[in-house]
């Protein structure tokens, strides 16, 4: 039997969804009938994204500074009140420019851990009461770098994303009794050109060449491939899946081989 995803009547909150992968995830849920709360640090970016996605009552503005817990709580509360329920939370916020070990400062450490880990935790905490009512689910978007490691300069970012996967497992155990599922999605390299107009594709040719050398599938992932993985984890097709980590990285974390 072919699996068909239908999110009509479903209410979803997607963090960092005014652009990039978060935007594509939000668009995918919305395209399948869901009401989606669009979240970003910039209220202007949220409004622009909603306009570009076609507007309408199924797109809800939910801006919040990911470093401010009070703003996260307020944004979630407003979104839940507007949608009247919450079924899915996708934490897709990801920030972390490469910074070598000897150049890492306290401010850099706090920013990377804060945006990638603290924001995900407190967004989940704010959403938990509504998710318990709906027997909903959480999908935390981490990274294959958090499973295997990455290039020099990725120590702090990989630590944050590795911690996110473990945090998800602990959340899954704590929320299982309330019927809330929590899973982690770890994408590998994503083609920046797939993000649409205005995407930063600088160095893409060099990146493609690097991936061709490192990945068994010899290519980067597309935004749609990543969004599809999230859609699956949030669906009834994954109703018995919690505390799991789904890695879609072209085989990168499986190791290397000599052909």
Q: What is the pLDDT of residue 193?
A: 56
Using CA atoms, how far apart are residues 144 and 234, in angstroms rounded to an integer? 19
Residue 250: pLDDT band by 50, 70, 90 thresholds?
confident
Q: Class for domain 11-246, per CATH?
A: alpha beta
Whether 164 contacts 212, CB under 8 Å: no
Scored b (16 or more CB within 10 A) or e, 126-147 reads: bbbebbeeeebbbbbbbbbbbb
Q: Locate all alpha helices (DSSP H) within 143-218, ordered by sequence.
A: 145-148, 155-175, 204-214
Whether 46 contacts 122, CB under 8 Å: no
Question: Which stretches does DSSP call E strand in 101-136?
Answer: none
Average pLDDT over residues 21-33: 97
Per-chain mean pLDDT for the chain: 89
Using CA atoms, how far apart are residues 186 and 146, in angstroms rounded to an integer? 8
Using CA atoms, how far apart are residues 165 and 70, in angstroms rounded to an integer? 24
Q: What is the pLDDT of residue 218?
A: 79
Q: Name which of 61-65, 92-96, 101-105, 225-229 the model is least confident about.
A: 92-96
Where is mean pLDDT largest: 56-60, 151-155, 184-188, 199-203?
Answer: 56-60
Indicate the helix (H) or strand (E) that contains 120: helix 119-134
Average pLDDT over residues 40-57: 97
In the sheet with 181-187, reading across from the earlier edge strand, the strands are 59-61, 35-38, 11-14, 88-91, 137-141, 181-187, 245-248
Work out whether strand 137-141 and strand 59-61 pair parallel, antiparallel, or are unpaired: unpaired
Residue 52: pLDDT band by 50, 70, 90 thresholds?
very high
Residue 211: pLDDT band by 50, 70, 90 thresholds?
low
Place of tokens 């989606």: 36
Using CA atoms, how far apart are residues 114 and 122, in angstroms rounded to an integer? 10
Residue 4 above 70 pLDDT?
A: no
- The reported pTM is 0.91
Question: Residue ranges of the domains in the chain?
Answer: 11-246
Query: Which of 157, 210, 232, 240 is labelled catalytic?
Result: 157
Whether 39 contacts 46, CB under 8 Å: yes
DSSP structure class, residue 257: -
Q: Name which of 66-80, 114-128, 149-163 the model is least confident about.
A: 149-163
Q: Would you say the C-alpha torsion 120, 122, 124, 126 has a positive or negative sign?
A: negative
Place of tokens 């849920």: 29
Whether 108 sits among the annotated catalytic residues: the reply is no
Facing residues of 138 across strands?
89, 182
Burial of 19 (0-12, 13-18, 19+ CB in 10 A): middle
């Amino acid at each position: 039997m072919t699996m068909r995803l239908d999110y009509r009547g479903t209410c979803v909150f997607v963090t960092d969804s005014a652009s990039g992968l978060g935007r594509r995830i939000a668009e995918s849920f919305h395209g399948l009938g869901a009401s989606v709360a669009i979240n970003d640090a910039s209220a202007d970016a949220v409004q622009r994204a909603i306009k570009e996605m076609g507007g309408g009552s199924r797109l809800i503005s939910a801006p919040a500074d990911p470093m401010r817990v009070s703003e996260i709580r307020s944004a979630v509360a407003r979104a839940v009140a507007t949608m009247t329920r919450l079924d899915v939370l996708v934490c897709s916020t990801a920030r972390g420019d490469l910074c070598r070990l000897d150049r890492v400062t306290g401010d850099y450490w706090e920013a990377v851990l804060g945006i990638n880990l603290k924001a995900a935790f407190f967004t989940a905490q704010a959403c938990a009461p509504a998710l318990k009512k709906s027997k909903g689910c959480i999908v935390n978007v981490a990274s294959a770098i958090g499973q295997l490691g990455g290039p020099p300069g990725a120590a702090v970012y990989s630590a944050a994303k590795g911690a996110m996967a473990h945090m998800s497992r602990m959340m899954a155990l704590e929320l299982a009794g309330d019927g809330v599922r929590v899973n982690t999605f770890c994408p590998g390299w994503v083609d920046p050109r797939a993000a649409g107009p205005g995407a930063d594709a600088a160095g893409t040719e060099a990146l493609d060449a690097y991936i061709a050398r490192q990945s068994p599938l010899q290519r980067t992932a597309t935004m749609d491939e990543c969004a599809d993985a999230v859609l699956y984890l949030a669906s009834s097709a994954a109703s018995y899946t919690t505390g799991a980590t789904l890695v879609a990285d072209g085989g990168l974390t499986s190791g290397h081989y000599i052909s």
